[in-house]
Amino acid sequence: MTIFWTILLILSGFLILGLAVGTGYGRSRPQDPLGPFNGLVYLLGRWYAQTVHQLRVQTDPGALDDLSGPLIVVCNHTAGVDPILVSLSLPTRVRWLMADDMRVPWMNWFWNWHGVIFIARNRHGRTGLRTARKHLHARGVIGIFPEGRIERPAHRLLPFAPGVGVLVKRTGARVLPVVIDGTPQADTAWNAIWTSSNSVVHYHTPIDYSESGLSAAEIAEDIQRHFQNWTGWSVGTKGSPRSARFAKPATDMAAESLPVSSDGSKLTRRMA
């Protein structure tokens, strides 16, 4: 019994120490403070990102000074680990849009804990989009991958879905562009989580389209032009054989399958 109580005491000490460390880290995020447990989880996550992926974070001057919502974090999609690296390096909570058919049931506890918003690839997708809009109207932050799938081959963008422009247009949200590079070129989205890499997450200055006068489709095109200018990468096609080999990752934005007219008006009506 003495051994049992000794082990229990040691484990309790580690738990208390861990929660204390988590509390300290949680309070170091003034824009989105975390409780002891979440602080510890995020701290361990940052250790994972730096150890497994050698994560480097680059930030344009002032890019992260104001992360108040409504804000849409728009990222190019290089690997299944992308949303993890962004969430761990961004000092505010992001609710990611995820295609409903990519949901893994045994991970529902994780999806719920992280606040993932599921989007169905049919008419029921309007429910998820309303949730996203409601969160933005409440000055929240959402994250999306407008390419709709992982870029293959690497260093070639895929066309951005007009749905990202619709969300920006309808909510007046600012756009925080994030360029991701150097992530694992794994054969599946899940394998990328455990494959070592030298990943880079670059936060660019937020863009405000509220007074631009651009249509939803033009906003999506403008965002993509920015990514092209920043990366120097060309734009491929979603139907290319090489990109089709890779299944859609768990964080895909379902907007690529939404019915949108050339100016985004049809989707705008359906999101009402």
Among candidate residues 66, 76, 29, the one with its CA nearest the CA of residue 205: 66
Kindly tell me the burial class for residue 88, based on how many C-beta atoms sit within 10 Å of its own C-beta (0-12, 13-18, 19 or more): buried
Same domain membership, residue 88 and residue 37: no
Same domain membership, residue 15 and residue 91: no
Pairing relationship of beta strands 141-144 and 95-99 according to DSSP bridges: parallel
* Mean pLDDT value of segment 186-203: 88
**Which band of pLDDT confidence, cut at 50, 70 and 90, is reported for residue 192?**
confident
3-state secondary structure 245-270: CCCCCCCCCHHHHCCCCCCCHHHHHH
The number of residues in the chain equals 272
> What are 178's strand-pairing partners?
75, 203
The owner of tokens 């929240």 is 140
> What are 207's strand-pairing partners?
175
**Which band of pLDDT confidence, cut at 50, 70 and 90, is reported for residue 176?**
very high
Distance CA 24, CA 30 (A): 12
Same domain membership, residue 67 and residue 93: yes
Same domain membership, residue 143 and residue 58: yes
Tokens linked to 228 = 């092209």
Q: Which amino acid is located at 145 in the chain? A: F
Same domain membership, residue 188 and residue 91: yes
Same domain membership, residue 39 and residue 150: no
Distance CA 272, CA 259 (A): 14
Among candidate residues 207, 210, 202, 221, the one with its CA nearest the CA of residue 263: 221
Same domain membership, residue 63 and residue 22: no
* Mean pLDDT value of segment 196-212: 95
Same domain membership, residue 76 and residue 63: yes
User: Per-residue pLDDT for 164 more than 80?
Assistant: yes
pLDDT of residue 24: 45
Same domain membership, residue 70 and residue 35: no
Same domain membership, residue 141 and residue 10: no
**Which band of pLDDT confidence, cut at 50, 70 and 90, is reported for residue 99?**
confident
The whole-chain average pLDDT of the chain stands at: 76
Q: Given 15, 31, 51, which residue is the final one in a domain?
A: 51
DSSP string, 132-187: HHHHHHTT-EEEE-TT-S--SSTTEE-PPPTHHHHHHHHH--EEEEEEEES----S
3-state secondary structure 210-240: CCCCCCHHHHHHHHHHHHHHHHCCEECCCCC
* Mean pLDDT value of segment 27-42: 58
pLDDT of residue 117: 86
Same domain membership, residue 69 and residue 14: no
- What contacts 20, CB < 8 A, 6 or more positions away? 36
Answer with the residue of higher pLDDT: 23 or 153: 153
Among candidate residues 66, 44, 81, the one with its CA nearest the CA of residue 190: 81
pLDDT of residue 168: 94
Same domain membership, residue 155 and residue 115: yes
Among candidate residues 173, 151, 162, 164, the one with its CA nearest the CA of residue 71: 173
Domain boundaries, position 18: 1-51
pLDDT of residue 107: 67
Q: What is the pLDDT of residues 101-140, one digit of tens each?
A: 666 676 667 677 778 888 776 554 567 788 889 999 999 9
> pTM for the full model?
0.77
Q: Given 34, 51, 68, which residue is the final one in a domain?
A: 51
pLDDT of residue 153: 86
Per the structure, how many domains does the chain have?
2
| R_g over Cα of the chain | 20
